């Protein structure tokens, strides 16, 4: 090999998506140094500077780390490293507040989820979409039942009582996240058992977080299995189809000869979410679930013009390709408090939480294969029921590189979570 070839190979090694690696490193370092001077703006600009800078560096790094790359890679690193740094108080307060403002007050997370949901549904083949929506329920229901039985059994084997095993380990894992699961559960427990709701939150959060981490690792393992056994892997498809039509077509539709208008795409996505928020007050279903319903209706009845569908898919392509790792950074900094987990950590507790998730994934895999679904994809959608709501869905699907399964994952998480919370609220009164 000539010295010129060696030089070019070395230069490519220090490039990131065609950009010299030094550029994002310097820009991110400047942002973090500004934080040390408390100069990071505590608004959307400051929050984006932090999560995008760290995301474009840690994501590719995680995908290259030996071992880690096979069980979640960039998604796992982007979620866990910021959480650990927050726990160790490495980040200054202005940096954390800027990211918190972006993720919570500005609700950047819901914008990402809405984009993935609307974009993937409007890009689906109608027949595959309907088939997937119908068939996700058998693996989801069976997986939930098996996960409850296995989780309670394993927890009791480690000395936990039935009441503790069910309501404080299994239920928070499959309850739909922190805001949609743990918070209403804590209120229900306080009402039934007495005491303050806040004290129950501290007891419920650790199981939910550990379950979410295990689900991310499981997603990475499932992706690896799909790579080795292509017959089991739909690559983002749930239902076996001879035509192998893509779930999300190319941004430029053959019938639409124009450059995508990203503003129209963003308007469509945000307008559907606003309509869902309005309907939430009337129908009393969560807005993320109603966004799925509205998007499905738009697709079934051809309500959205083909040109606007292309615009939505163009926005989807940008978010799915470039903003998932930054979003994971924000989730790790804001939504993954390690101090809650470390307070209850024990081998039996961790194994019981892991048993819930693994049982759900394995059951989804087997049931999916039995009803002519792609087992890997069926397992991924099923295991989303054990994630931290929308936060978990993004992390799990990112680890498996299946962002186009977001609509099905949201159904698994939201519908499954609501059903779990309602059932647990009734059972804790009956069994108390």
* Structure confidence by residue, pLDDT tens digits, 91-109: 999 999 999 999 989 989 8
The residue assigned the tokens 């940096």 is 95
**Separation CA 396–CA 355 (nearest Å):** 17
**Average pLDDT score over residue span 33-37:** 91
* Chain CA centroid to CA 151, Å: 22
Q: What does the chain come to in residues?
A: 432
Query: Residue 156 to residues 342, 348, 431: CA-CA distances in angstroms?
Result: 21, 9, 17
| pTM of the entire predicted model | 0.79
Give the pLDDT score at 367. 95
**Separation CA 92–CA 84 (nearest Å):** 14
DSSP 107-153: -HHHHHHHHHHHHHHHTS-HHHHHHHHHHTHHHHHHHHHHHHHHHHH
**Separation CA 83–CA 196 (nearest Å):** 27
Give the pLDDT score at 50. 97
CB 224 within 8 A of CB 76: no
pLDDT digits 0-9 by tens, 286-320: 788 788 889 989 988 889 999 999 999 999 999 98
Give the pLDDT score at 63. 86
Give the pLDDT score at 241. 64
CB 86 within 8 A of CB 96: yes
E-assigned strand segments in 113-205: none
pLDDT band at 31 (very low <50, low <70, confident <90, very high): very high
Does residue 253 register a pLDDT over 80? Answer: no
**Average pLDDT score over residue span 74-103:** 92
| Tally of CB atoms within 10 A around 164 | 15
pLDDT band at 3 (very low <50, low <70, confident <90, very high): low
Does residue 78 register a pLDDT over 80? Answer: yes
More confident residue, 418 or 273: 273
pLDDT digits 0-9 by tens, 170-195: 999 998 877 678 878 888 888 888 88
| Nearby residues of 95 by Cβ (< 8 Å), 6 or more positions away | 32, 35, 40, 46, 50
Give the pLDDT score at 248. 46
Query: Residue 79 to residues 102, 222, 269, 387, 390: CA-CA distances in angstroms?
Result: 16, 19, 26, 13, 14
pLDDT band at 250 (very low <50, low <70, confident <90, very high): very low
* Chain CA centroid to CA 425, Å: 25
Does residue 7 register a pLDDT over 70? Answer: no
CA triple 266-270-275, angle to 5 deg? 150
pLDDT digits 0-9 by tens, 49-61: 999 999 999 999 9
**Separation CA 369–CA 361 (nearest Å):** 12
**Separation CA 15–CA 359 (nearest Å):** 41
């Amino acid at each position: 090999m000539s010295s010129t070839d060696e030089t070019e190979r070395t230069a490519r090694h220090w490039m990131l998506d065609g950009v010299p690696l030094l550029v994002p490193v310097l820009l991110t370092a400047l942002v973090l140094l500004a934080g040390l001077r408390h100069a990071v703006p505590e608004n959307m600009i400051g929050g984006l500077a932090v999560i995008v800078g760290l995301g474009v560096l840690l994501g590719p790094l995680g995908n290259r780390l030996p071992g880690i790359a096979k069980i979640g890679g960039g998604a796992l690193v982007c979620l866990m490293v910021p959480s650990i740094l927050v726990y160790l108080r490495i980040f200054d307060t202005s940096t954390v507040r800027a990211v918190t403002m972006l993720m919570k007050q500005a609700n950047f997370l819901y914008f990402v989820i809405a984009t993935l949901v609307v974009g993937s549904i409007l890009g689906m083949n109608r027949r595959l979409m309907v088939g997937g929506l119908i068939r996700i329920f058998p693996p989801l229901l069976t997986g939930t039942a098996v996960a409850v039985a296995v989780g309670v059994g394993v927890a009791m084997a480690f000395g936990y009582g039935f009441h503790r095993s069910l309501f404080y380990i299994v239920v928070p894992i499959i309850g739909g996240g922190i805001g949609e699961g743990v918070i209403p559960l804590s209120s229900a427990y306080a009402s039934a058992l007495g005491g303050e709701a806040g004290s129950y939150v501290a007891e419920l959060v650790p199981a939910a977080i550990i379950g979410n981490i295990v689900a991310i690792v499981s997603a990475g393992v499932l992706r690896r299995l799909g790579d080795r056994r292509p017959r089991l892997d739909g690559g983002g498809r749930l239902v076996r189809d001879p035509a192998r039509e893509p779930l999300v077509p190319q941004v430029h539709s053959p019938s639409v000869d124009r450059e995508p208008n990203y503003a129209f795409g963003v308007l469509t996505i945000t307008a559907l979410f606003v309509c869902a928020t309005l309907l939430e007050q009337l129908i009393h279903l969560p807005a993320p679930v109603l966004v799925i319903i509205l998007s499905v209706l738009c697709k079934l009845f051809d309500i959205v013009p083909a040109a606007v569908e292309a615009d939505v898919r163009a926005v989807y392509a940008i978010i799915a390709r470039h903003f998932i790792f930054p979003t994971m950074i924000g989730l790790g900094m804001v939504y993954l408090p390690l101090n809650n987990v470390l307070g209850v950590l024990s081998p039996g507790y961790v194994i019981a939480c892991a048993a819930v998730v693994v049982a759900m994934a394995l059951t989804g895999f087997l049931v999916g294969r039995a009803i002519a679904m792609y087992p890997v994809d069926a397992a991924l959608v099923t295991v989303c029921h054990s994630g931290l709501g929308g936060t978990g869905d993004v992390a799990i699907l990112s680890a498996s590189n299946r962002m186009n399964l977001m609509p099905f994952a949201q159904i698994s998480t939201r519908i499954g979570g609501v059903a779990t919370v309602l059932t647990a609220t009734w059972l804790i009164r009956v069994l108390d």
